[in-house]
C-alpha cells in the first residue's frame, strides 16, 4: 500500500516570482510548466500577446502593458513570455495545446533584456536607455545612447541606430525589453511631485 506522499506530489508555492529567474533555463522551465492557462488567458496569450510580439506576419504591433493587482500573477506571466521568447525548446513545456502551437511564432526568436524598475528618482527615459545599454553589453553588443542634453527631438533615430547595431550581431533575432514593477515607479514619482509641491505632511505648518 502506498503512502499519501507517494500518491500526491506537491510543489511549494512561491509568494513572489522574480523576473530575472526566467533568464535561467532550468528556472524558466519550471516557470512555464507550472503556469496554469485558463480559457480566458489562452485568448489573451494567442490573440493579443503573441500576436503583437511575433514579427513574421505584419500587424499593427504595439508595446504591451500588463496590469493587475498584487499577487495576480503579472510577474509569472511576464517570466513565461520572456522565457518562451528566448528559449525555443521550452515551448514544449506550455500546458495548453493551442497556446503551445501559437507560441512557436515567438519561441527562441528574441534576445531578452529583463529588469525591475521599482521606486527611482531617475527619469523613465534615462532608466530605459541605461537598461538597454547595459543589457546590450551583456549580449556582446556595444551601443550607448547620447546624453539627454544632446537629444534635440526624440529617441526614435537612436533606437533605429541601436537596432541596426544589434542586427549586425544577431541578424535573425528580435530584441525584447521587458520591465517589471513599473507601477511602483509611477507611484513613487507621484509621491515625489506631491512632496515637492506641498512639503512633508508630517511637518508643522
Q: Grid coordinates standing for 16? A: 513572489
Mean pLDDT rounded to a whole number for the chain: 84
Work out the pLDDT band at 63, boundaries 50, 70, 90: confident
Q: Grid coordinates standing for 126? A: 534615462
More confident residue, 199 or 175: 175
Alpha helices, H only, 55-181: 74-86, 97-103, 124-138, 156-169
Mean pLDDT of 141-157: 80
Q: How far apart are CA 119 and CA 88, in angstroms?
A: 33
**Owner of C-alpha cell 525548446:** 89
Work out the pLDDT band at 58, boundaries 50, 70, 90: confident
Name, in order, each residue with C-beta under 8 angstroms of 95's C-beta and a sequence gap of 6 or more.
Answer: 33, 35, 36, 37
Work out the pLDDT band at 187, boundaries 50, 70, 90: confident
Mean pLDDT of 22-46: 95
> Which pLDDT does position 192 carry in this prediction?
59
> Which pLDDT does position 6 carry in this prediction?
59
Whether 4 has a pLDDT exceeding 70, the answer reads: no
Prediction pTM value? 0.81
Percent of the chain with pLDDT over 90: 54
Work out the pLDDT band at 198, boundaries 50, 70, 90: very low
Element (H, E) at 50: helix 50-53
Q: Grid coordinates standing for 65? A: 502593458
**CA–centroid distance for 174 within its chain:** 14
Q: How far apart are CA 37 and CA 97, in angstroms?
A: 10
Q: How far apart are CA 127 and CA 32, in angstroms?
A: 28
Residue 180 forms beta bridges with which residues?
Answer: 116
**Owner of C-alpha cell 515625489:** 192
> Which pLDDT does position 154 carry in this prediction?
73
Digit-coded pLDDT (tens) for 102-126: 999 999 999 999 998 877 778 888 8
Name, in order, each residue with C-beta under 8 angstroms of 23's C-beta and a sequence gap of 6 or more.
Answer: 82, 86, 112, 114
Amino acid at each position: 500500500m502506498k503512502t499519501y506522499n507517494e500518491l500526491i506530489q506537491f510543489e511549494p508555492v512561491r509568494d513572489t516570482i522574480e523576473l530575472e529567474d526566467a533568464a535561467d533555463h532550468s528556472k524558466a522551465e519550471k516557470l512555464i510548466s507550472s503556469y496554469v492557462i485558463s480559457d480566458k488567458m489562452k485568448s489573451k496569450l494567442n490573440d493579443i500577446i503573441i500576436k503583437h510580439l511575433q514579427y513574421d506576419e505584419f500587424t499593427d504591433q504595439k508595446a504591451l502593458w500588463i496590469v493587475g493587482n498584487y499577487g495576480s500573477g503579472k510577474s509569472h506571466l511576464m517570466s513565461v513570455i520572456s522565457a518562451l521568447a528566448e528559449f525555443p525548446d521550452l515551448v514544449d513545456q506550455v500546458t495548453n495545446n493551442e497556446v503551445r502551437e501559437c507560441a512557436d511564432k515567438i519561441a527562441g526568436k528574441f534576445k531578452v533584456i529583463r529588469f525591475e524598475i521599482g521606486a527611482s528618482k531617475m527619469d523613465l527615459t534615462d532608466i530605459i536607455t541605461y537598461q538597454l545599454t547595459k543589457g546590450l553589453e551583456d549580449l556582446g553588443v556595444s551601443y550607448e545612447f547620447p546624453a539627454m542634453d544632446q537629444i534635440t527631438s526624440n529617441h526614435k533615430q537612436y533606437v533605429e541606430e541601436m537596432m541596426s547595431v544589434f542586427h549586425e550581431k544577431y541578424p535573425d533575432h528580435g530584441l525584447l525589453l521587458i520591465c517589471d514593477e513599473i507601477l511602483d515607479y509611477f507611484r513613487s514619482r507621484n509621491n515625489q511631485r506631491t512632496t515637492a509641491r506641498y512639503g512633508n505632511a508630517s511637518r508643522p505648518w
